[in-house]
Structure 1
């Protein structure tokens, strides 16, 4: 039997906290879950990750596993057999709540290791919840400002009446909470893979639909606002339609294209609401009429302006 380094599998230190172990597990599951991963060994990798987490997330199992490695330099892949007296003091009586270790993962290493506990008897695995599913959902920026309800379609793996794996299309109604951010995950309880002890959960990672007018940085939003040349040169008040509604904004006289105006508290809502930055972009009137061409010729003659002078 080959020794398995569960800490190495999850990529955490042996001193890792429960939260660090849980975070590492979720990150790896999102990467290797067969429903979303393109890795060739995704199924096997997911089983290894689940096995490692099943031990390290259980305080008693982790204590017993750590006790096994204390004073030894076991390495992953090394030929290994548990010492005959190992496990003394870790649920040796069996039968009580939390007093035994079950062969829950189907791994020879896991089964042989923890079968030494509880009087040497291998216990029947308890029913397991189904796997969690992970997917992404694309929303408009307005949904983050106002909240929304969206229906998404997903192809999911399921079992038919003959216990064969089949693919089905399912519709999910999703409540988008106000203030949601890119990268945030929404949990739909009980919408994951089916399992003997009930289904897992569905986790939807938020991403925003591309929009050339907006750039999003955390809760801050950058919006491009087209302005006329005289609005920049002379200044004045302009009306701007923002994600949170229409606002009147004062453009300082003598502004240049690319100037940034900050509107505090007009970003994505939250405990600390972000800001909205308006990026002024000059738009020239087209010289498609005689009058327009005449005005441009007058400007060229009387202003004698060379934007490249001194460049």
Structure 2
């Protein structure tokens, strides 16, 4: 196992006051709480802050840890507690719940009367289980319920109905309390952490909470202006195309993206499609246009 510098984890100096340590822990706990944080690796950072605070908040544990740290161990360095060190320094027998903490913590602060590194014999919370749930873009927009089947390590399956909050993004997690691994000795079950993956959509793309759409229009709609029906995640809406529009022009539908604070918009990119003439009359229309318009799109604009 590796040595951990709990002061470095909390971002405080070794001579920090108890109040400073408590304040640093609260700041990190708010920042990385897995129920609210979107930071990558937030859950591990949250657990690390909990473990560091557990080691430093108690004066006896902190004194014993400081004595060990003074021996010059560095963070990440391979660590094995010196023989009989805990007996003389007061590491064992400190009491307290170490469930979910690292082997390093347990090797130092094992439960009272227990062997080094041994977990408490009483009730223990089950482990969290991670899985992935795939949803389409419409479900991400409006929220809803989705059924999924989970298979445990023993091969048995169970079905769950998951509530999808409106506005959820790829990579975010849904926590189902008590749906993880069973606890031991009557302890509570762990949680189920579902990572959301948004499936590709044939019409829309996402850019943050903004929804992107390419809208085909005719040359006369672009030249003369028009009002056309545009698909959104909530259904069709009318969009006014300004006269004189070109391909690539972007129009914004405010608030038509994914819900949030603030909600995203829908950005519509115009793409002019010219029909291919199939009759003499249609070809004549193009010939008349070529004579009537003194226009060369390849020439620089004056």
| Fold match by TM threshold 0.5 | yes
The answer on 1:142 being equivalent to 2:138 is: yes
Residues 284 and 153 of structure 1: CA distance in aligned 2, closer, same or farther (over 3 Å): farther
Deviations 1:271-292 (A, max 9, x none): 4222222111112223334443
The answer on 1:151 being equivalent to 2:147 is: yes
Q: What is residue 220 of structure 2 aligned with on the other side? A: 230
Shift of residue 300 of structure 1?
3.2
The answer on 1:126 being equivalent to 2:116 is: no
Q: What is residue 36 of structure 1 aligned with on the other side? A: none
The TM-score with structure 1 as length reference comes to 0.70
CA distance in structure 1 between the aligned counterparts of 2:201 and 2:79, rounded to whole angstroms: 53
CA contact (8 A) 1:151 1:171 kept: yes
Q: What is residue 248 of structure 2 aligned with on the other side? A: 258
Gaps spanning 5+ residues in structure 1: where? 32-48, 93-99, 158-165
Deviations 1:226-251 (A, max 9, x none): 11111111112222121122222211
Q: Of 65, 69, 72, which residue of structure 1 is paired with 2:65?
A: 69
Q: Of 224, 234, 239, which residue of structure 2 is paired with 1:244?
A: 234
CA distance in structure 2 between the aligned counterparts of 1:126 and 1:302, rounded to whole angstroms: 90
The answer on 1:277 being equivalent to 2:270 is: no
Matched pairs, number: 273
CA contact (8 A) 1:265 1:275 kept: yes
The answer on 1:180 being equivalent to 2:171 is: no
CA contact (8 A) 1:139 1:208 kept: yes
Deviations 1:153-210 (A, max 9, x none): 33332xxxxxxxx233432211112232333211122221223123211111223221
Deviations 1:240-274 (A, max 9, x none): 12112222221111111111111222222234222
Residues 79 and 180 of structure 1: CA distance in aligned 2, closer, same or farther (over 3 Å): closer
Aligned with 1:12: secondary structure? helix
Gaps spanning 5+ residues in structure 2: where? 13-23, 35-39
Q: What is residue 209 of structure 2 aligned with on the other side? A: 219
The TM-score with structure 2 as length reference comes to 0.72
Aligned with 2:78: secondary structure? coil
Q: Of 189, 194, 198, which residue of structure 2 is paired with 1:204?
A: 194
Aligned with 1:58: secondary structure? helix
CA distance in structure 2 between the aligned counterparts of 1:91 and 1:85, rounded to whole angstroms: 11
Residues 61 and 222 of structure 1: CA distance in aligned 2, closer, same or farther (over 3 Å): same
Instruction: Give the 4+ runs in structure 1 shifted more than 6 A.
Output: 21-26, 49-54, 59-62, 105-108
CA distance in structure 1 between the aligned counterparts of 2:224 and 2:189, rounded to whole angstroms: 64
